[in-house]
């Protein structure tokens, strides 16, 4: 379970804290107790909700309207939280309130605490165990989707909530820090390893290498490319490339990364949804796509062919990431096991 902030237990009503022995304090003791009570209520779960609302709205004014709390009260809560924790949670900009690196970690923890409180309330109100939870963001990779498909067949009969989002590396990191996802898979060129490891360190995340690979080319089994035993870059010039078009490397300009990851080609179609990509490749023999190796079962089902490109030597890495405090659940381990199986089933 992720570590809670020290104020998680503050401001808890007496009904939850247990009964106390009745005592009649003196006037001086009453003043001291009043001061201590004020300190205890400086930060509480409600204030966490306020901070999360501001982060989601990106503005104190919008958050005030959303949760119907006076704007000055929200500003005061933010100042008190920042002073008590000795960090800056938000950065005030012309665009509104943006999270600082410390703020990203704080909001991620706050969301986790609020989620645990909601689960606890639901558990005891309904008198039954909470639902099993699994959430992951991943690149648009067929071997990962294949692992998720088989993982879904082993969920059993327990109540469960499962979230699987295909997206880019930047959003996968944001989903863990801001949305509340537990796991993510990021993909990047091996030459940028130091940039990504530094980014994970700064955001208090840990990563484990899943696989390292070279992109191969897939196309329709009816494509003239499929008849070639060996493919080189020049063979692709007259065909239409299907591409994601959302590369990301921390600390590097997007324009520079795009120039390297998406070199000039006469015809290219940008598609951000994997199902449509596969349909285009299956139906249009003039299309091709660079992909991580795909399990043979999927290639057969989609009538696609996979080939290595002789002069493509660039290496990529897929890395599983999570918060450092997060402990893998049984469902997480089941998914990782399927991921390992699917990866081994990929042959070029």
Give the domain CATH number at 50.
Answer: 1.10.10.10
Does residue 237 belong to any structural domain of this protein? yes
287 and 149 fall within a common domain: no
187 and 334 fall within a common domain: yes
196 and 330 fall within a common domain: yes
Does residue 306 belong to any structural domain of this protein? yes
Number of domains in the chain: 3
101 and 40 fall within a common domain: yes
- Domain end (from 102, 117, 132): 117
- Domain end (from 99, 117, 135): 117
Does residue 266 belong to any structural domain of this protein? yes
Nearest residue to 97 via CA among 113, 109, 86, 81: 81
Does residue 86 belong to any structural domain of this protein? yes
Both tokens assigned to 192: 């940028």
Nearest residue to 316 via CA among 247, 243, 242, 225: 247
Domain that holds residue 131: 122-201+320-344
Q: How many CA atoms lie within 13 A of 166 on its CB side?
A: 15
What pLDDT, on a 0 to 100 scale, did the predictor assign at position 233? 92
What pLDDT, on a 0 to 100 scale, did the predictor assign at position 161? 92
179 and 217 fall within a common domain: no
254 and 310 fall within a common domain: yes
Does residue 22 belong to any structural domain of this protein? no
**Alpha helix (H) ranges present in 58-164?**
60-67, 71-85, 101-126, 142-152
Question: Cα separations (Å) of 36 from 23, 32, 39, 52, 86?
Answer: 16, 6, 5, 26, 20
List the CATH number of the domain containing 250. Answer: 3.40.190.10
Does residue 152 belong to any structural domain of this protein? yes
Report how far residue 67's alpha carbon sits from residue 38's, in angstroms, rounded to the nearest whole number: 24
36 and 90 fall within a common domain: yes
Report the chain (348 residues): mean pLDDT per 10 consecutive residues. Answer: 35 33 44 41 76 90 87 88 89 88 90 83 62 92 95 91 92 91 94 92 94 94 92 93 70 56 80 89 95 92 93 93 94 96 80
Which residues, 6+ apart, have CB-to-CB distance to 128 below 8 Å? none
304 and 217 fall within a common domain: yes
**Alpha helix (H) ranges present in the chain?**
14-17, 27-40, 45-57, 60-67, 71-85, 101-126, 142-152, 169-174, 193-202, 254-261, 274-283, 296-302, 330-344
231 and 83 fall within a common domain: no
Q: For residue 141, give the 3-state DSSP assignment.
A: coil
Predicted TM-score of the model (pTM):
0.63
Tokens 């002789």, residue?
310
List the CATH number of the domain containing 155. Answer: 3.40.190
**Strand pairing report for 183-189 and 90-93:** unpaired
327 and 311 fall within a common domain: no
- Domain end (from 64, 91, 117): 117
What pLDDT, on a 0 to 100 scale, did the predictor assign at position 205? 95
101 and 238 fall within a common domain: no
What pLDDT, on a 0 to 100 scale, did the predictor assign at position 8? 35
Does residue 12 belong to any structural domain of this protein? no
Does residue 24 belong to any structural domain of this protein? no
269 and 330 fall within a common domain: no
């Amino acid at each position: 379970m992720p570590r809670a902030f020290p104020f998680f237990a503050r401001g808890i009503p007496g009904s939850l804290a247990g009964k106390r022995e009745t005592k009649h304090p003196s006037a001086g003791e009453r003043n001291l107790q009043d001061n201590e009570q004020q300190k205890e209520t400086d930060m509480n779960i409600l204030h966490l909700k306020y901070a999360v609302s501001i982060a989601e709205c990106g503005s104190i004014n919008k958050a005030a309207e959303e949760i119907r709390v006076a704007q000055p009260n929200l500003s005061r809560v933010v100042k008190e939280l920042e002073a008590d924790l000795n960090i800056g949670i938000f950065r005030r900009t012309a665009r509104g309130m943006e999270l600082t690196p410390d703020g990203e970690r704080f909001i991620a923890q706050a969301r986790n605490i609020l989620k645990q409180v909601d689960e606890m309330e639901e558990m005891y109100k309904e008198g039954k165990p909470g639902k099993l939870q699994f959430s992951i963001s991943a690149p648009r990779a067929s071997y990962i989707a294949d692992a998720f498909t088989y993982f879904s067949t082993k969920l059993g009969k327990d109540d469960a909530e499962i979230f699987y989002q295909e997206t880019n590396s930047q959003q996968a990191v944001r989903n863990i820090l801001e949305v509340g996802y537990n796991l993510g898979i990021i993909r990047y060129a091996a030459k940028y390893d130091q940039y990504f490891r530094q980014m994970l360190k700064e955001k208090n995340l840990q990563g484990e290498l899943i696989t390292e690979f070279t992109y191969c080319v897939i196309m329709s089994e009816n494509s003239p490319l499929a008849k070639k035993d060996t493919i080189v870059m020049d063979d692709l010039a007259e065909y239409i490339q299907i591409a994601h078009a959302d590369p990301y490397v921390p600390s590097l300009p997007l324009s520079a990364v795009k120039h390297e990851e998406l070199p000039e080609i006469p015809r290219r179609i940008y598609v951000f949804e994997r199902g449509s990509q596969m349909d285009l490749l299956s139906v249009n023999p003039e299309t091709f796509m660079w992909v991580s190796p795909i399990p043979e079962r999927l290639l057969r089902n989609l009538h696609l062919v996979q080939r290595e490109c002789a002069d493509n030597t660039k290496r990529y890495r897929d890395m599983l990431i999570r918060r450092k405090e997060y402990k893998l659940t049984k469902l997480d381990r089941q998914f990782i096991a399927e991921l390992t199986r699917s990866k081994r089933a990929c042959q070029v």
